[in-house]
Amino acid sequence: MSSNINLIDSFQEFKDFKNIDRPTVISVLEEVFRSMIRKKYGTDENCDVIVNPDNGDLEIWRTRRVMEDGFSEDDDLEIELAEVKLLDPDMEVGDDYIEQITLESFGRRAILAARQTLVSKVLELEKDEIFKKYKDRVGEIVTGEVYQVWKKETLVLDDEGNELLMPKTEQIPADYFKKGDTVRAVILKVDMVNATPKIIISRIAPEFLQRLFEIEVPEIFDGLITIKKIVREPGERAKVAVESYDDRIDPVGACVGMKGSRIHGIVRELKNENIDVINFTNNISLYIQRALSPAKITSIKLNDETKHASVYLKPDQVSLAIGRGGHNIKLAGKLTGYEIDVFREAGEEEEDVDIEEFSDEIDNWIIDELKAIGLDTAKSVLALSVDELVKRTDLEEETIREVINILQSEFE
């Protein structure tokens, strides 16, 4: 009797799996039991398997045709009159003899094998359903609870207990999680690895920021405002180009909200990442000008063939255009698709010297390092402190002090 209970226990476990639908439950269970029937009787074509997935009830009925004694050719499909009379005296030749087959009749070994098959199919189906479910949700936001934190990744469980992995490389640098924390992220990709779904979530993907805007800004969710492009330096800065299909709606104002009410929640979620929301335009010059915000540009020279833009600014705007760590100019380039170089615009009365003229005293690689952050003249370098130059370049403090001494001597 215990063998029967084991199989029913497996059945109960199988039907309780939340991701498996009722028709699949019935189909798989029926196939397991039919396999048992074929092994015992050689065929299952004259058997009916009735499964009730609600309470775990199972019935197996076998039908055999009653034949005259000595005329039965297949005992699995037919039964002779003398034999059937012992079971049911009312049976006659030509009748169908229907009998119920009990699980116990299959034997303990067959039941244990069926149980193992059942459990295997449960796990296989569950994994397939999880894979399909999450494959269709790539790009959506998911909320989960941190279950375990490792050095290279964090394990998050969704509200159904499914495992989601967030690699360290997909976390914002300022993210710090501990067991039990609630975390939001976007589903980045779903793969099958060794027949097990591997669900990767991310907080640095542009799609995460886009979904946050859709949650906070009803006009985006409703399609009145569209996000044209998002570029990010996670945890530092992001630029979001938006466009409105309704002239009465200011897309930037709608995204920011009254006194920043809409964007503040997003900024907090992203660990105080600076977010610049700009109006998209097909006018490249104007687009680049907006992308370099908050810097104010004096003039722009474009080369559409090479996708290169030379931007001229007043001296006090250069550092704003470049931004801390060069993030502002780097993101403006990614947003517009143009390589942007910034140049300090000097007044006619303002004497300055191109930094390349010092190549006999300063190594070319140092000059290139300074030019890479928009410092192409002597005075543009001298306008910044040693600490600021150390922060923005890969140069050592001693090297920078030597450069400053060389440049200062030009104006003494």
- DSSP H or E stretch at residue 125: helix 108-135
pLDDT number for residue 373: 84
In sequence order, the β-bridge partners of residue 143 are 184
Tokens 């009379």 found at: 85
The pLDDT profile of the chain, 412 residues, written as one tens digit per residue, is 334 434 455 555 554 555 566 677 777 778 888 888 888 888 888 888 887 766 667 788 888 888 888 887 777 788 888 888 888 888 888 898 888 888 778 878 877 887 787 778 878 888 888 898 899 999 999 999 999 999 999 999 998 889 999 999 999 999 999 999 999 999 999 998 888 899 999 999 999 999 999 999 999 999 899 999 999 999 899 999 999 988 888 999 999 988 888 999 999 999 999 999 999 999 999 999 999 988 889 889 999 899 999 999 887 788 888 888 888 999 999 999 999 988 877 554 456 778 877 887 888 888 888 888 888 888 888 888 888 888 888 888 899 999 888 888 877 6
Strand, helix or coil at 118?
A: helix
pLDDT number for residue 6: 43
Tell which residue, 299, 366, 292, has the closest CA to residue 330: 292
Return the number of other C-beta atoms located less than 10 Å from residue 333's C-beta.
19
What DSSP string describes 367-410? Answer: HHHHHHTT--BHHHHHTS-HHHHHHHSS--HHHHHHHHHHHHHH
pTM beyond 0.85: no
Strand, helix or coil at 322?
A: helix
pLDDT number for residue 9: 54
Environment class of 245 (CB within 10 Å of its CB; exposed 0-12, middle 13-18, buried 19+): exposed
228-271, pLDDT tens digit by residue?
999 999 989 999 999 998 888 899 999 998 888 899 999 999 99
pLDDT number for residue 2: 39
Which amino acid does the sequence have at 246?
D
CA dist 360 and 183 (Å) reads: 55
φ/ψ of residue 17, rounded to 5? -65, 120
pLDDT number for residue 19: 58
φ/ψ of residue 296, rounded to 5? -105, 125
